[in-house]
Structure 1
Amino acid sequence: MTETTDAGVRHPPRSLLATLLGVSTMTIMASATITPALPGMQRHFAAEPHAELLVRLVLTLPGLAIMVSAPLLAKLSGRTGRVPVLLACLALYTVGGGSGLLLDSLPALLVGRAVLGIGIAGIMTTSTALIADHHDPADHGRALGLQGAAMGFGGVVALLLGGLLAAVDWRGPFAIYLLAIPMVALVLRFVPDARVQPTDPRDTTTAASPWQPRLLGLYALIFIGVVVFYTVPTQAPFWLAEVGGAGPAVAGALIAAVNLVMTLVGLNFRRLRARWSFPRLAIAMFAAFAVGLVVLGTASALWTAALGMVVVGLGVGLQNPTINGWLVSTASPGARTRSLGLLTSALFLGQFSSPLIAQPVIDAVGMGTTFVLSGALAAVVGVVVAAIHWRSP
């Protein structure tokens, strides 16, 4: 059943979109949820060999599992349907994420986190594909903008709720993953599989491939964008302490503010998309990264650094709906989920790579200059996108 507006755009039932938005929040909660629990976890497992390293891997291991499994799950969903894969991955998310409530060894926890990562990979690819499948192309901007807003709001909730539960016990934040259980019931009730013609394996045309040049460019954009902006959650707490004496509570609040800005941008993305093309939105995204990171890196007071982080938040808010929308408008429906799987891998490769790339630069030139250089890289990418866009017919 669908609803039709006066403009002739068909909307699916609100319950369907609300369910898929709720599912999307599960992905952003994955990392932020347990961040406040890491110090308590390290104290609990202090007697285990290599505890300091393994506790940090508890946070990062899901990203590695996502990178590996996202394309495979996307391909599987093209054969079996998106909803069965989504339901199975919600189950994996619940088991893997909730395992921290019971397991009492770091190796076992790492296995649980790998299972969680596989679940996240399937949820990310199928939820976005289902949003696109069930909405007319003219309505993708609104729907994907709402998805970005829901993910930003989920990040705020995860940071705040995770902190409160971690204050009670380090295992507390793991209970948040159990929110996937009602999501399973809602998906079964409200989300049918869309009728999408699968891509014929014998079809080797460019349109049927997730490897066409424009899609490769989008994978590169999401990778570079994440490498650039992820310097904020990974490095900003240390920088805020240096320039403004900010403690963990203030740093956490400012990072939560970035998620709040992301939410506000998502809520207004439909209006932005009505005025600007995807290339122009991508240029604006990298411009926000460039300006925000330069302001952050040259800050000499806490309020200036906070201003820079808010501007970066504008770019973060544009990133998911812009790149996801650009991809679903470019990929053929049959190849859409595979393309989203590769995009998800590129995104988490960027998250994993960002601190590895940033740390040697920080050691060489300092943290402030590293932020400035990240902003310069964002500016260069924005100029390249602009040059390609204006040369295209």
Structure 2
Amino acid sequence: MSQPPIPAAAIAPMPRPMVTVAVLLLAAMTIMANATIASSLPGMKAHFADVAGIDTLTGLILTLPSLTIVFTAGLAGWLADRVDRQKLLVAAALLYAIGGSSGLWAETLPQLLFGRAVLGAGVAGTMTLAMAWGADLWQGPARARMMGIQGAAMSFGGIVVMLLGGALATLHWRGAFSVYLLVLPIAALGLVMLAPHARQLRATRATARAEGRAKTTEAFPWAIFAFVGSLAFVFMAIFYVMPTRMPFLLEQLGVSNTFLIGAIMATLTLASMPGALSYGWLRRFVGPMTIFAASFALMGLGMVVISQAGGVAGVVIGTLIAGAGMGPSMPNYTTYFMGHVPASQRGRASGLLTTAFFAGQFAAPLVAAPLVVAFGLQGTFEALGLAQIVLGAGLGVAVLNRRRPTAAEA
């Protein structure tokens, strides 16, 4: 599947640096959705110890925003193509702040679950907007570079929030929930910096309506989404077992300090940054399918190493390997898919891809639960790691078969 060439007229001037910063920070807010409170899971489990099924519910509390995102990201994408994106950003930021900080005051598990659901609706809006603006404001090779930088920004944001969440969780398990309030200044920056582009987009839409072009006749690339969306779902469903189960695996290995747990998990995102930053450079030499194959293989190898770890050192080595595979993978999904999407449907495409990612995140504890019962924590990491290696090998074989006629991959 080769990407269609981009007409010269479609290539816009590079946005100002502060516009880039605003889009990057909007993207970085996504990682805060679930991972921020990972270090609080043991304390949360102890606080709600009298609740039946708390082992599974603890993982679901972490990933519940993903379920809401599954049901709201499509709507957010539809709105991003049709309404004022600035108003959508305000609504998303308020939902994000209110729902995310709910752990500071929720006294019962239903209250906490409701807050996590509200947070998911906010994340659906912010991630869809970040993805849509990224596709709109950067084109061609510049988009590949921007998506790589965006992936690195998400990784850096993950390091910051996991360390901050871990530090605050040492004071009280509720402390990590205050990190979600960072969305308010970030959204304010986005409102200011993206205002000119939002006005231009409104003018373009008004002109299209006046000329009778309000309804696009361009076909949506459903076949490509079926492929990319399926891979994104599988990637997240397996990968997100790490933040939901690793705190308990570390406890099993004798690590109980919440800040140390947060620091170990932060190595996962730290290791992903070089691969994300070099994504634009990598795409000059290898195609998207090769990156998909290598990413799954590396992430699988990392999980296998973690499964065999007898202490902290082994876990850290495994997370570094898995992070190296994750780095170029995230921008690869977005860049590859957006290269096939008509400009008038990028919001819709962003919403659908967001849905696929977070459906996988929500499914992660449901995938892991029966495996943990059957094989234990280390056995679960081993089984899922081997599954990723097999998938990566299968994609690699497909790449080799496609490359037989020519040496280049689109």
Q: Same fold (TM over 0.5)?
A: yes
- Higher mean alpha-carbon deviation, 8-17 vs 24-33, is at 8-17
Q: 1:86 and 1:164, CA in 2 relative to 1: closer, same or farther beyond 3 A?
A: same
Alignment partner of 1:225 out of 235, 238, 242? 235
CA shift at 1:114, angstroms? Answer: 1.6
1:355 maps to what in 2?
365
2:5 maps to what in 1?
none
1:108 maps to what in 2?
111
1:143 maps to what in 2?
146
2:83 maps to what in 1?
80
- Higher mean alpha-carbon deviation, 84-93 vs 377-386, is at 377-386
Query: In 2, are the aligned partners of 1:237 and 1:248 still within 8 Å (CA)?
Result: no
CA shift at 1:45, angstroms? Answer: 6.4
CA shift at 1:266, angstroms? Answer: 2.0
1:190 maps to what in 2?
193
1:164 maps to what in 2?
167
Query: In 1, are the aligned partners of 2:135 and 2:346 still within 8 Å (CA)?
Result: no
Letter in 1 for 2:321: V
Alignment partner of 2:302 out of 292, 296, 303? 292
**CA offset digits 1:226-258 (Å, max 9, x no partner):** 12222322233344455x544444443221101
Q: 1:365 and 1:141, CA in 2 relative to 1: closer, same or farther beyond 3 A?
A: same
**CA offset digits 1:89-140 (Å, max 9, x no partner):** 1121122223444454443333222221100011111111101211122201
Query: In 1, are the aligned partners of 2:25 and 2:153 still within 8 Å (CA)?
Result: yes
Within 2, Cα distance between the matches of 1:379 and 1:55? 28
Within 2, Cα distance between the matches of 1:99 and 1:303? 35
5 Å-filtered alignment, 1:2-81, equals 10-41=13-44, 52=54, 57-81=60-84
TM-score (norm 2): 0.83
The sequence identity of aligned pairs, in percent, is 37
Letter in 2 for 1:166: A
- Higher mean alpha-carbon deviation, 54-63 vs 184-193, is at 54-63
CA shift at 1:71, angstroms? Answer: 0.7
Structure 1 position 208 matched with structure 2 position 208:
no
SS at match of 2:283: helix
Within 2, Cα distance between the matches of 1:239 and 1:109? 24
Within 2, Cα distance between the matches of 1:172 and 1:84? 30
SS at match of 2:90: helix
Letter in 2 for 1:87: V
CA shift at 1:35, angstroms? Answer: 3.1
CA shift at 1:301, angstroms? Answer: 4.9
Give the total of aligned pairs. 380
Query: In 2, are the aligned partners of 1:86 and 1:127 still within 8 Å (CA)?
Result: no
Q: 1:233 and 1:42, CA in 2 relative to 1: closer, same or farther beyond 3 A?
A: closer
Within 1, Cα distance between the matches of 2:106 and 2:312? 40
Indicate the RMSD between aligned Cα atoms, in angstroms: 2.8
Give the gaps of 5 or more residues in structure 2: 1-10, 406-410
Q: 1:99 and 1:289, CA in 2 relative to 1: closer, same or farther beyond 3 A?
A: closer
CA shift at 1:171, angstroms? Answer: 3.7
Within 2, Cα distance between the matches of 1:239 and 1:187? 39
CA shift at 1:147, angstroms? Answer: 0.9
1:312 maps to what in 2?
322
SS at match of 1:330: coil
Within 2, Cα distance between the matches of 1:50 and 1:343? 34
1:4 maps to what in 2?
none
CA shift at 1:355, angstroms? Answer: 2.3
**CA offset digits 1:115-168 (Å, max 9, x no partner):** 211000111111111012111222012111111111111111111111222333
Give the gaps of 5 or more residues in structure 1: 1-7
Q: 1:385 and 1:332, CA in 2 relative to 1: closer, same or farther beyond 3 A?
A: farther
TM-score (norm 1): 0.86
Structure 1 position 339 matched with structure 2 position 342:
no
1:5 maps to what in 2?
none
1:3 maps to what in 2?
none
Q: 1:245 and 1:375, CA in 2 relative to 1: closer, same or farther beyond 3 A?
A: same
Structure 1 position 372 matched with structure 2 position 382:
yes
CA shift at 1:272, angstroms? Answer: 1.7
Query: In 2, are the aligned partners of 1:296 and 1:371 still within 8 Å (CA)?
Result: yes
Within 1, Cα distance between the matches of 2:378 and 2:177? 34
